[in-house]
Amino acid sequence: MTEPLTLLSKWIDDAGGMESLDAIAMCLATADIHATPSARIVLLRGIDERGLRFFTSYLSRKGRELAENPRAAAVFHWPHLHRQVRAEGDVAPLADDESDAYFNARPRGHRIAAWASEQSEPLESYVTLEERFEHFDARFEDEAVPRPHSWGGYLLAPVRIEFWQGRPNRMHERTLYTRAATAWSKTLLQP
């Protein structure tokens, strides 16, 4: 793994590891074609030399924004460690086999929910959503739940990653990694 992504993996481990929701929760910021930003918390579901992986509905607001403007920023914050990481870069859908593998590893109820929910769309009532869940639960009762074509993964390939380590007297350490082609450069920033 490349240097800043290795460091990010270590900081995630320090925060509790990939099994800890607090460690892998990240604020994902996207923008539509008009540059109107929106942000929400999503879970990091993988990290390697290519970048950061997360999964969602392609038809959700974030999915639509990523289709219009395939760039995003993600922020991790671990207040108990006085640490923060910001990553910015291009986003692309993952290959079907990667999305299938992750989807098939999810609990059955989560897979049914991916069919039942038209994420980000208006909802008449919660009863309607429960009825849709029951419908798809019955539909796939005796078979494996396939991944909906409208659901899958994304890869955020960072071109900038900034690590912030809190220090006394607001003398914080900030280290910025910037990628050009396949090489990373490192710059220290003032607090």
Which residues, including other chains, have CB under 8 Å from residue 46's CB and lie 6 or more apart?
52, 53, 102
Give the C-alpha distances (Å, rounded to integers) separating 108 from 34, 47, 188.
Answer: 38, 24, 46
**Strand pairing class (83-93; 71-78):** antiparallel
Task: Write down the catalytic residue from 50, 64, 170, 174.
Answer: 170
H helix runs in the chain, sequence order: 3-15, 21-24, 61-68, 96-105, 108-116, 126-139
Q: At what angle do helices 108-116 and 96-105 cross, to 10 degrees?
A: 120
Which pLDDT belongs to residue 145?
97
Bridge pairing between strands 37-43 and 46-48: unpaired
**pLDDT (tens place) for every residue of the chain, 191 residues total:** 569 999 999 999 999 999 999 999 999 999 999 999 999 999 999 999 999 999 999 999 999 999 999 999 999 999 999 999 999 999 999 999 999 999 999 999 999 999 999 988 888 999 999 999 999 999 999 999 999 999 999 999 999 999 999 999 999 999 999 998 889 999 999 99
Residue spans per domain, the chain:
3-106+149-189
Q: What is the C-alpha separation between 17 and 21, in angstroms, rounded?
A: 9
pLDDT at 121: 87
Instruction: Kindly give the pairing relationship between strand 151-165 and strand 83-93.
Output: antiparallel
What architecture (CATH level 2) is domain 3-106+149-189? Roll (2.30)
In whole angstroms, what is the distance from residue 42 CA to residue 20 CA?
13
Specify whether 170 is catalytic.
yes
How many Å apart are CA 144 and CA 163, to the nearest integer? 42
Residue in 64, 80, 81, 84 with CA at minimum distance from that of residue 72: 64
**Token digits of residue 40:** 């929400």
Chain Cα centroid distance, residue 28: 6
- Give the pLDDT score at 2: 60
